[in-house]
Amino acid sequence: MNESQAFELGRLLGNGAAIAQGIMEFIAGTAAQGGGEGLCITGIGCFAGAPAIARGIILR
């Protein structure tokens, strides 16, 4: 296929944005999981910590 330069640039920028979004989701998921684990260590915080761990795992 003979694709235009604008098409190629759009695809390149879209791929870069997708990579950046994936990295940010991984960081947010790791932070949520770590925070939830920190709450669960206290014992009482597991009511909030367990859902945070689950959401963090889903994001990662």
* pLDDT at 59 > cutoff 80: no
* pLDDT at 60 > cutoff 80: no
pTM over 0.85: no
Could you tell me the pLDDT band of residue 2, with boundaries at 50, 70 and 90? Answer: confident
Residues 8-54: pLDDT tens digits? 999 999 999 999 999 999 999 899 888 888 888 887 888 888 888 88
Cα separation, 19 vs 11, whole angstroms: 12
Report residue 8 CA to chain centroid gap: 27
Please give the residue that has the higher pLDDT: either 59 or 5: 5
Quick one: tokens of 41? 């260590």
Cα separation, 13 vs 42, whole angstroms: 44
